[in-house]
């Protein structure tokens, strides 16, 4: 048996003359109508392997995945939960798959009905006036939101506002978005209890305030208790409130950003609504607005009229900030979200919030009882929580990265490491609602075991991982000498 080396690329397996014809086109394409200057003179350098070699190569690669489908994946702030196969199956119906985006609306009424209902469901679930689904992912959702805030102030002639307030516990995308939209970022500190420092906020609010970007529950894993007071302060100063939907899973069905006073929100359909998050796959963001920002909402949106469904365009929405992607957004992801929402129903949505919070609080209590330091011990966790390994670092000499690497050996994806930056040696842990008690208990056992291993012989932990395709990576080299292009040797 020839054993394929661990990290061999398909190009390196190539041997001249091998072929896998199953995927090849049945007949040669007719290139007669293409200008000669666009035609290749030499054949492209594609790898040459047999069909069976190709199958084995990619099957082995897929087995190296460390994924939600194979392992518990408590990556904080990423909501790595099970995405039901049923939602995918519904989105894959041939009538959806074979729709052409340029086909007339009259032939896509079924698809448009789903989009229209999803717009309504999400508006209802978030407490917003209207929702657009044409935004391609979370970062673009933020951009859309702040661009609308800017359009709102500009339309009122209120152009002196040049600051967006961002709590220091925010996701890095928040200040990046504000900057992209031409605003200065003003950072608001977090108090010792994990809530926004109200005195600092009061001082920051003023004539220059265009708005505030908030995540609630926040990235430190607690619910911002004074959110209504924050909304009042920012609104009184003339600013608007942006809700980053990164942590929506915790409050789904239980509390609505619209009721908290937010003017605009994005929801990551690719984490909360049945599409896996991360890994380079497509995302989709639903962006919802209250009354004030309604004219600026990105297009297209679906509207229901007497004769059926219709796309709203530039003529219907002259003040819209415009289009942020082609066609209707990531249609497949939207359909998955639609199927998921329909499967959950209103009652199911409440259970998402309840069980994601229950699981997080159970896991936090178990880790605390096992002697780990919880960052905000007096606070109830939302859907995620932070433990700090500062004591372990000081007393035993192991840090967060050592725990993270060793967890992989023991069959658990590492939680988010070193984030948020406010807490030293932070592990941000989000178990999600789809994990069983047995899985959570196993994770606690693994954490306890790693701490014991470190006490017994620290090298065991420092040398991890041992059981993965690659050992400890050189992060510095990866950051400084990024090289993603394969070139033939010799």
Task: Write out the residues near other proteins by the rule CB under 8 A.
Answer: 172, 417-419, 421, 424, 475-476, 479-480
Name which of 343 and 478 has its Cβ closer to other proteins.
Answer: 478
Q: How far is the CB of 234 from other proteins (least distance, A)?
A: 23
Q: How far is the CB of 206 from other proteins (least distance, A)?
A: 18
Burial class of residue 460 in the structure, from the number of CB atoms within 10 Å of its CB (0-12 exposed, 13-18 middle, 19+ buried) = middle
- Give the rounded distance of the alpha carbon of 171 from its chain centre: 11
Please list the alpha-helical segments (H only) found in 212-296: 227-236, 257-260, 269-272
Name which of 117 and 197 has its Cβ closer to other proteins.
Answer: 197
Name which of 30 and 474 has its Cβ closer to other proteins.
Answer: 474
- For 426, list phi and psi in degrees, rounded to 5: -90, 140
Distance separating alpha carbons of residues 418 and 433, to the nearest angstrom: 24
Strand, helix or coil for residue 146: helix
Name which of 66 and 418 has its Cβ closer to other proteins.
Answer: 418
Distance separating alpha carbons of residues 396 and 448, to the nearest angstrom: 13
Is 443 in contact with 74 (CB distance < 8 Å)?
A: yes
Distance separating alpha carbons of residues 338 and 115, to the nearest angstrom: 8
Is 141 in contact with 330 (CB distance < 8 Å)?
A: no
Name which of 30 and 475 has its Cβ closer to other proteins.
Answer: 475
Name which of 97 and 421 has its Cβ closer to other proteins.
Answer: 421
Q: How far is the CB of 94 from other proteins (least distance, A)?
A: 46
Q: How far is the CB of 418 from other proteins (least distance, A)?
A: 4
Assigned token pair, 142: 């933020």
Name which of 24 and 479 has its Cβ closer to other proteins.
Answer: 479
Q: How far is the CB of 50 from other proteins (least distance, A)?
A: 41
**Per-residue DSSP letter, 292:** G
Distance separating alpha carbons of residues 162 and 160, to the nearest angstrom: 6
Q: How far is the CB of 178 from other proteins (least distance, A)?
A: 14
Distance separating alpha carbons of residues 330 and 20, to the nearest angstrom: 32
Q: How far is the CB of 192 from other proteins (least distance, A)?
A: 13
Count each helix (H run) and each strand (E run) in the chain, helices first.
Answer: 16, 13
């Amino acid at each position: 048996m020839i054993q394929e080396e661990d990290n061999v690329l398909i190009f390196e397996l190539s041997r001249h003359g091998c072929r896998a014809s199953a995927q090849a086109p049945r007949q040669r394409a007719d290139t007669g109508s293409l200008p000669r200057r666009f035609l290749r003179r030499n054949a492209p350098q594609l790898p040459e392997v047999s069909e069976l070699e190709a199958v084995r190569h990619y099957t082995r690669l897929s087995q190296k995945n460390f994924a939600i489908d194979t392992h518990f994946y408590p990556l904080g702030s990423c909501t790595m939960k099970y995405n039901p196969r049923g939602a995918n199956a519904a989105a894959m119906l041939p009538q959806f798959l074979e729709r052409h985006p340029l086909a007339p609306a009259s032939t896509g009424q079924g698809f448009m009905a789903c989009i229209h209902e999803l717009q309504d469901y999400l508006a209802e679930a978030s407490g917003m006036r209207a929702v657009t689904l044409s935004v391609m992912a979370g970062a673009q959702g933020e951009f859309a939101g702040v661009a609308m805030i800017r359009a709102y102030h500009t339309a009122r002639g209120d152009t002196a506002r040049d600051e967006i307030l961002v709590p220091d516990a925010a996701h890095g995308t928040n200040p990046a978005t504000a900057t992209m939209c031409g605003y200065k970022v003003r950072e608001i500190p977090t108090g010792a209890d994990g809530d926004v420092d109200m005195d600092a906020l009061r001082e920051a609010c003023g004539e220059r305030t265009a708005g505030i970007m908030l995540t609630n529950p926040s990235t430190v894993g607690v619910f911002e208790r004074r959110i209504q007071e924050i909304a009042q302060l920012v609104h009184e100063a003339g600013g608007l409130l942006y809700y980053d939907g990164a942590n929506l899973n915790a409050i789904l069905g239980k509390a609505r950003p619209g009721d908290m006073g937010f003017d605009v929100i994005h929801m990551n359909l690719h984490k909360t609504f049945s599409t896996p998050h991360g890994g380079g796959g497509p995302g989709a963001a639903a962006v919802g607005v209250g009354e004030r920002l309604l004219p600026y909402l990105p297009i297209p949106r679906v509207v229901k009229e007497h004769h059926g469904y219709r796309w709203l365009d530039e003529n219907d929405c002259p003040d819209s900030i415009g289009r942020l992607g082609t066609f209707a957004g990531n249609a497949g992801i939207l359909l998955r979200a639609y199927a998921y929402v329909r499967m959950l129903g209103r009652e199911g949505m409440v259970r998402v919030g309840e069980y994601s919070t229950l699981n997080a609080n159970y896991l936090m209590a178990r880790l605390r009882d096992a002697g780990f330091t919880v960052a905000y011990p007096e606070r109830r966790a939302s859907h995620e929580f932070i433990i700090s390994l500062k004591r372990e670092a000081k007393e035993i000499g192991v840090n967060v990265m050592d725990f993270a690497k060793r967890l992989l050996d023991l069959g658990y994806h590492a939680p988010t490491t070193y984030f948020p930056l406010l807490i030293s040696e932070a592990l941000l842990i989000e178990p999600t609602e789809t994990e069983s008690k047995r899985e959570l208990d196993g994770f606690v056992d693994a954490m306890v075991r790693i701490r014991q291993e470190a006490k017994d012989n620290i090298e065991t932990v420092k040398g991890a991982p041992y059981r993965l395709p690659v050992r400890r990576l050189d992060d510095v080299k990866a950051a400084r000498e990024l090289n993603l292009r394969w070139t033939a040797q010799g």
